[in-house]
Amino acid sequence: MASSASLLSLALCSLLLFQVCSAQFETGRVWGSSRSQTAIRHTIEQRGLLLPAYSNAPKLIYVDQGRGYHSAAIPGCPETYQSEQESESRDPRQGSRDQHQKIRKIRQGDIIAIPAGVADWFYNDGQSPLVLVQIMDTSNFANQLDQNFRKFFLAGNPQREIQGQRGQPSRHLYRGSEKGRGGGGGQEQRSGNIFQAFDEQFLAEAFNIDTDLARRIKNENDNRGIIVRVEEQLEFLSPEFSEEERRQSSQGGGRTGRWSANGIEETFCTAKLRHNINDPSRADIFNPRAGRLTTVNSFNLPILRYIQLSAQKGFLYRNAIMTPHWNMNAHSINYITRGSGQIQIVNENGESVFDGQVQEGQIITAPQNFAVIKRAGSDGLEWISFKTNDNAKINQIAGRASTIRAIPQDVLANAFAISREEAQRIKFNRREIGIFSPETRSRGRRD
């Protein structure tokens, strides 16, 4: 396993591998790439609220641990969650009556997609930490600003610290966890929510409130960070199955009528933003001796067509191998969620740009077209790949469905200067697709 010294030097020389610490994020330009993505991990403790904010990049969020709630405020869409009394009194400003946009329950394994410029927030109502890994693609067409990741908070006081040197992509470190973290060597920079620099009188008029309240929403002396602890359990509207639904559901088939497709195209306001990628029954490639691969792309989560990102969950059993491959039309930013393994990445000159052990909590980026090989360690290897294309494709090099199989064996024999029989072995010895078992019967037989 790599020591943290070697990890550091790797990060400095290639920007390929990052250790993602608690509630810290690192931003980097992919090696040899004109594009940049930013990854961040948030640990939200029990009753923690990650403050509403939006950014200049679309994002994909993977729920690495826990359960909670998420809501995105889609502009121009109505507040469709309404307390029942509201329609009668027509005055929503009484008691606990409220109305707001849709709130989604989230759980481990969910992928959540958020377009650029849309504000969202998270809340942990569970008993264990809610851990989120996010990737933000500042290179996306949706971002017309520069390649710096910019997060705009609607509330609170982020107190951002800036580390990084001139000419390099800067790294922002938020005080994002309730545990806080040491200041490191970074400079403290005054920073606040978007209301902070507005004139109080303006704000008061805009919201039709008094100037005292207008001043207080600037949260200028707030030291709670970007994740705040909610004292009492947070209250909002959240639909539950009615008694009748539960009865029908237990009888089976009861929900069919309610959820059948209606032929009306999904609108932006009701777009699905979430898809669970951990469910084994959704695996796209499954090999009982090797593992499974599950993909979320614009075919099963259509909003991804709009934000041009997708994700793949990989699960390799002990010592299993993922086929050597290259990412045809995307970068692949891999976050190791469990276990350990070895990864090798090779560039167009046949030079190794990464060759090392990876383990839980690390991020390693495979640039577009670079050749990659992954092998699980003795505990297996589990990762989530964020990909910078809504329909990312890989080009497999070995196994069935590989590029090598597409080429006539006589071409391979001449290209590699080997015999036809050897070319045949290269084409046909590995019969699995995508993920390979560590030791196969045929191998012993053949070598």
Under the binding rule (CB under 8 A), the answer on residue 407 touching a second copy is yes
Q: Candidates 112, 116, 132, 285: give the one binding a second copy (CB under 8 A).
A: 116
Q: Give the strand pairing for 17-19 and 362-366.
A: antiparallel
Under the binding rule (CB under 8 A), the answer on residue 397 touching a second copy is yes
Instruction: Rank residues 55 and 337 by Cβ distance to a second copy and give the closer one.
Output: 55
100-to-74, 287, 310, 316 alpha-carbon distances in Å: 11, 45, 29, 42
- How many Cβ atoms sit within 10 Å of the Cβ of residue 229? 13
Which residue, among 79, 90, 130, has the nearest Cα to 108 in the 3D structure?
A: 130
Q: How far is the CB of 305 from a second copy (least distance, A)?
A: 15
Under the binding rule (CB under 8 A), the answer on residue 429 touching a second copy is yes
Q: Candidates 21, 117, 302, 305: give the one binding a second copy (CB under 8 A).
A: 117
Q: Candidates 347, 360, 361, 379: give the one binding a second copy (CB under 8 A).
A: 347
Instruction: Rank residues 164 and 438 by Cβ distance to a second copy and give the closer one.
Output: 438
Under the binding rule (CB under 8 A), the answer on residue 388 touching a second copy is yes
Q: Do residues 44 and 50 lie in contact, with contact meaning Cβ atoms separated by under 8 Å?
A: yes
Q: Candidates 216, 282, 305, 318: give the one binding a second copy (CB under 8 A).
A: 216
Under the binding rule (CB under 8 A), the answer on residue 225 touching a second copy is no
Q: Do residues 256 and 248 lie in contact, with contact meaning Cβ atoms separated by under 8 Å?
A: no
Under the binding rule (CB under 8 A), the answer on residue 380 touching a second copy is no
Q: How far is the CB of 254 from a second copy (least distance, A)?
A: 29
Under the binding rule (CB under 8 A), the answer on residue 2 touching a second copy is no
The 300-339 contact track toward a second copy, x by CB under 8 A, reads: ---------------------x-xx-xxxxxx--------
Q: Candidates 67, 104, 107, 150: give the one binding a second copy (CB under 8 A).
A: 150
Q: How far is the CB of 5 from a second copy (least distance, A)?
A: 23
Q: Tokens for 307, please give them.
A: 């934000």
Q: How far is the CB of 229 from a second copy (least distance, A)?
A: 8
Q: Candidates 2, 11, 45, 100: give the one binding a second copy (CB under 8 A).
A: 100
Q: Do residues 346 and 334 lie in contact, with contact meaning Cβ atoms separated by under 8 Å?
A: no
Under the binding rule (CB under 8 A), the answer on residue 403 touching a second copy is yes
Instruction: Rank residues 276 and 300 by Cβ distance to a second copy and give the closer one.
Output: 300
Q: What is the size of the binding site for a second copy (CB under 8 A)? A: 145
Beta bridge partners of 134: 40, 61
Under the binding rule (CB under 8 A), the answer on residue 438 touching a second copy is yes
Q: How far is the CB of 49 from a second copy (least distance, A)?
A: 6
Stretch that binds a second copy, among 4-12, 247-255, 358-366, 434-442 (CB under 8 A): 434-442
- Cα(267)–Cα(262) distance, rounded to whole angstroms? 13
- Cα(289)–Cα(433) distance, rounded to whole angstroms? 12
- How many Cβ atoms sit within 10 Å of the Cβ of residue 304? 26
Residue the block writes with tokens 């497709």? 261
Stretch that binds a second copy, among 245-253, 257-265, 296-304, 363-371 (CB under 8 A): 363-371
Which residue, among 68, 88, 379, 20, has the nearest Cα to 234 in the 3D structure?
A: 68
Instruction: Rank residues 231 and 240 by Cβ distance to a second copy and give the closer one.
Output: 231
Helix or strand run (H / E) with residue 202 = helix 200-207
Under the binding rule (CB under 8 A), the answer on residue 76 touching a second copy is yes
- How many Cβ atoms sit within 10 Å of the Cβ of residue 169? 17
Instruction: Rank residues 34 and 251 by Cβ distance to a second copy and give the closer one.
Output: 34
Stretch that binds a second copy, among 45-53, 247-255, 280-288, 292-300 (CB under 8 A): 45-53
Residues 6+ apart with CB under 8 A from 225: 156, 158, 159, 174, 175, 176, 177, 178, 180
Residues 6+ apart with CB under 8 A from 213: 204, 207
Under the binding rule (CB under 8 A), the answer on residue 298 touching a second copy is no
Which residue, among 329, 323, 341, has the nearest Cα to 383 in the 3D structure?
A: 341
